[in-house]
């Protein structure tokens, strides 16, 4: 995955509020939808308002509160889609990052982001002030962590970025991740009790392998890794714009629900895949570039037409502008049911739903 700024609750040089929610186990999509509506309706009754009127159920869940900083854990109740059960560090203590430098990949200093993310216990990680964090090696995360950038301008940039491997319950929200570089061929600590040798990385903003309940975009790290066939991913309420070339997302194996996103720029393609992923695109807006050869939204990778025409890819209710087109394939309605995680809203509403995409300018004592 290429570097992206991230408001991930999955990842992001433009400042997108990316929502990528993943689950390694298949769920009944109707139950998922019912749970989403139940949680959001209960939240609105409790707070005494109908909606913040954004149409984005994640924002509407928490942004109306003046005292959001006094109840940061509430964010963990706002996840939707296949990753709705991600709790991050909700059951742990607050950890305040005070030191943006002194990154030691093997013996991290207390007060640094690296020291926070490797701990064994659940932690909700926040930042004392605005900071730019340049990592010397990838930030290898332990389970049950939330990185919450609200209230500060936090950038992870100009070095290796984040690795989420074989851990569970991660939320990354309200930070910028960009200009990521390759790392690896080095020792990196991944827990208080273990460090090990990590091979060269691709320079991705966030690399996910073998995880579950991740709320945070090459999805599926290798065509040969068949365990990714059980992966379910929701990508919703993002703005993909200037500076992005491809992989929004790029899918390998698994089931992908791409819903209510605003695509205003790409250079090669917007949504790609290999190894027969199922892609359900609903309620998105696609504005094609002016170059005639790049109007296609999709790219079927590493396969001839005789193979990819059997892959289940569909576009439903998407708005195609400036000659954009989505090359559909396959036909299995059962497979699309397994790639459905929430009700898509009309594509005409996408602009209003994504108007606040990106790491928000949140200040204590006021609406975010």
Question: What CATH number does residue 5 fall under?
Answer: 2.160.20.10
Give the list of residues 6+ apart from residue 109 with CB closer than 8 angstroms, or none: 99, 102, 115
Q: Which of 76-90, 215-229, 236-250 has the highest mean pLDDT?
A: 76-90
Indicate if the pLDDT at residue 93 is higher than 80.
yes
Residue at 333 is within a domain: yes
Report pLDDT for 11: 30
Please tell me the least confidently modeled range out of 8-17, 133-142, 210-219, 264-273: 8-17
Q: Both 211 and 266 in a single domain?
A: no
Q: Both 9 and 43 in a single domain?
A: yes
* 247 labelled catalytic: yes
Q: Which tens digits make up the pLDDT trace of 235-285?
A: 999 888 777 766 678 788 889 999 999 999 898 889 999 889 999 999 999
Report pLDDT for 96: 98
Residue at 83 is within a domain: yes
> What is the rounded average pLDDT of the residues 176-182?
92
Give the list of residues 6+ apart from residue 51 with CB closer than 8 angstroms, or none: 44, 60
Report pLDDT for 57: 85
Q: Both 200 and 284 in a single domain?
A: no
Q: Both 188 and 285 in a single domain?
A: no
Q: Is 366 exposed, middle or buried (0-12, 13-18, 19+ CB in 10 A)?
A: exposed
Q: Which tens digits make up the pLDDT trace of 30-41?
A: 444 344 445 444
* Rounded Cα gap, residues 317 and 337, in angstroms: 16
Give the confidence band of 195 by pLDDT, cuts at 50, 70, 90. very high
Q: Both 145 and 278 in a single domain?
A: no
Q: What are phi and psi of 203, to 5 degrees?
A: 85, 25
Residue at 249 is within a domain: yes
Give the confidence band of 104 by pLDDT, cuts at 50, 70, 90. very high
Report pLDDT for 227: 58
Degrees, nearest 5: CA angle 300-215-101: 105
Q: Pick the residue with more confidence: 41 or 5? A: 41
Q: Both 212 and 258 in a single domain?
A: no
Give the confidence band of 356 by pLDDT, cuts at 50, 70, 90. confident
CA atoms within 13 A on the CB side of 38: 7
Could you say which of 216, 232, 251 is where a domain stops? Answer: 216
The domain tally of the chain equals: 2
Please tell me the least confidently modeled range out of 80-84, 98-102, 113-117: 80-84
What per-residue string of b and e applies to 51-84 under the rule 16 or more CB within 10 Å gives b?
Answer: ebebbbbbbbbbbbbeebbeebbbbbbbbbbbbb
Q: Which tens digits make up the pLDDT trace of 301-332?
A: 878 899 999 999 999 999 999 999 999 999 86
Q: Both 193 and 109 in a single domain?
A: yes
Provide the mean pLDDT of the chain.
82
Q: What's the predicted TM-score (pTM) here?
A: 0.79
Report pLDDT for 187: 98
Report pLDDT for 112: 98
Indicate if the pLDDT at residue 113 is higher than 70.
yes
Catalytic residue (choose from 150, 189, 247, 250)? 247
> What is the rounded average pLDDT of the residues 39-50?
41
Give the confidence band of 45 by pLDDT, cuts at 50, 70, 90. very low
Give the confidence band of 86 by pLDDT, cuts at 50, 70, 90. very high
Residue at 105 is within a domain: yes
For residue 345, the enclosing domain spans: 241-357
Q: Is 251 exposed, middle or buried (0-12, 13-18, 19+ CB in 10 A)?
A: buried
Report pLDDT for 29: 39
């Amino acid at each position: 995955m290429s570097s992206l700024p991230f408001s991930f609750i999955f990842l992001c040089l433009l400042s997108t509020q990316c929502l990528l929610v993943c689950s390694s186990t298949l769920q009944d999509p109707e139950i998922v939808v019912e749970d989403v509506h139940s949680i959001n309706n209960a939240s609105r009754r409790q707070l005494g308002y109908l909606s913040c009127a954004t149409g984005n159920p994640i924002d509407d869940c928490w942004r109306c509160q003046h005292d959001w900083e006094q109840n940061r854990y509430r964010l963990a109740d706002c996840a939707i889609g296949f990753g709705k059960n991600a709790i991050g560090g909700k059951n742990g203590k607050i950890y305040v990052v005070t030191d943006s430098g002194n990154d030691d990949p093997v013996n991290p200093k207390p007060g640094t982001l690296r020291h926070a993310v490797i701990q064994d216990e659940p932690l909700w990680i926040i930042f004392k002030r605005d900071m730019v964090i340049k990592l010397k090696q990838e930030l290898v995360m332990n389970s049950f962590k939330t990185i919450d950038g609200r209230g500060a301008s936090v950038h992870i940039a100009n070095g290796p970025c984040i690795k989420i491997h074989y851990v569970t319950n991660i939320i990354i929200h309200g930070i910028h991740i960009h200009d990521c570089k390759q790392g690896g061929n080095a020792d990196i600590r991944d827990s208080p009790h273990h460090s090990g040798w990590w091979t060269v990385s691709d320079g991705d903003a966030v690399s996910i392998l073998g995880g579950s309940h991740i709320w945070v975009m090459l999805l599926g790290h290798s065509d040969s890794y068949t365990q990714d066939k059980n992966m379910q991913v929701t990508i919703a309420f993002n703005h993909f714009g200037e500076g992005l070339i491809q992989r929004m997302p790029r899918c390998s194996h698994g089931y992908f629900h791409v819903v209510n996103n605003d695509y205003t720029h790409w250079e090669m393609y917007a949504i790609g895949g290999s190894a027969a992923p199922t892609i359900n695109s609903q309620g998105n807006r696609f504005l094609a570039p002016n170059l005639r050869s790049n109007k296609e939204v999709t790219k079927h990778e590493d396969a001839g037409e005789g193979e990819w025409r059997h892959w289940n890819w569909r576009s439903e209710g998407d708005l195609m502008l400036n000659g954009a087109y989505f090359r559909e394939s396959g036909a299995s309605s059962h497979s699309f049911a397994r790639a459905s995680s929430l009700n898509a809203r009309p594509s005409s509403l996408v602009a209003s739903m994504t108007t606040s995409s990106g790491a928000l300018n949140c200040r204590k004592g006021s609406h975010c």
